[in-house]
Amino acid sequence: MLVFKFGGASVKDAAGIANLAQVVKKYTHEQLLIVVSAMGKTTNALEKLTNAYFNQADDVHELYEEVKQYHYQILHELFDGSHPVFDEVANTFVEIDWMLEDEPVDTYDFIYDQLVSVGELLSTRIVNAYLNQVGLTSKWLDVRGYIHTDNTYREGVVDWPKTRASVQQDLPTMLGKSIVVTQGFLGGTSENFTTTLGREGSDYTASILAACLQAQSVTTWKDVPGVLNADPKFFEDTVKFDELSYTEAMEMTYYGATVIHPKTIKPLQNAGIPLLVKPFNDPDAPGTVIGNAENQRFDKAIIIVKQNQVLISVSAKDHSFVSEQQLSQVYRIFAQNQVKVNVMQTSALSLSVCFDRVEERFEQLYNQLKLEFNVKYNDQLSLITLRHYQYSLLQQLTEGKTVLLQQTSRNTAQVVTAG
């Protein structure tokens, strides 16, 4: 049994969905579980809608209409107007209609998950209908009834025993009869509310389902030839890895490499399932295999750049040394606000922490820290991480920039820069 994950770029338009079907046709002799992300930039669009609704802005219905028109345009390119999928999509949009009728009363994170999750419900309805239309027998599955999480909205924590039991009870029988198409990124609570698993979490969904089913492999289909040593949008002469160890892949994703969601690798490593990263426009290409690679040589450094970073410095109000108790307080506040630390450094009198700026979380974090500490920060920064680096490359990448924080170890260098 194989698990395929198709990201938003691979299903951004009608041609992409047709290409997905061509890829799937190559594997009709296999049992296939297909995990699909929201189409194109739908998640971004739904995030804008969520912000507008939560803040009761004037453009709520305009933003919503853009999302609807985008999906209906794709529908009309793929299907005759009488196809049942039009009703399925309309009924899915009703989940947003119900929310927008009333003023927001719940927390931002709860509202985010209920609205943004609709992107995956829409994409999978359309993909499932198209596969059946071209003769590939397919069944739509609502993953929210199978991946069970707690109530940590936007970062749902998976209840593995309950999830494993649900998946193993139903999916093997379904997969024996047809292809199964389901949503990435989503989970469900015991109260039947939707949660999401973290931004770009569809890879993690595929990993969870594969681990529960003891799949042969997971393939994530991307718009790149495999895992590269740097983002080709920003760096020339990138090289593709034919293989990577689970450990190296985890390190890369931890430091911010966006080709794979950070939580994806560990469940696959635990289950001994390889992860293949392959190009959806060239499905016969070898891509990159992530597994038990050993004694790997790195002739070129891995370069990871994260933008929109904040560097915050915290010190005691009485100007005393930073104690273990104060460090604990700072980490508690970070944890309460679900803000992940990218790099940190301590001195005698202060603690400096670099993290992604997520607006609604940053303001709350900053205000809480100010109650107990002196706080200063810089924003609009970049975090550059180098794996298997040479010092000359570090100098080259920081030339002309102001270095605000730098850490180096045997294998890894991290630099926070402005400019």
Angle between helices 60-78 and 118-133 (to 10 degrees): 10
Question: Binding residue per annotation — 372?
Answer: no
Structure-block tokens of residue 138 = 């397919």
Question: Binding residue per annotation — 162?
Answer: no
**Phi and psi (nearest 5°) for 151?**
-95, 25
Structure-block tokens of residue 113 = 């998950």
152 and 43 in contact (C-beta within 8 Å)?
no
Question: Binding residue per annotation — 5?
Answer: yes
**Phi and psi (nearest 5°) for 406?**
-145, 135
Question: Binding residue per annotation — 120?
Answer: yes
116 and 43 in contact (C-beta within 8 Å)?
yes
6 and 32 in contact (C-beta within 8 Å)?
no
**Binding site for ATP: what residues are annotated?**
5-8
**Binding site: what residues are annotated?**
5-8, 43, 120
**Binding site for substrate: what residues are annotated?**
43, 120
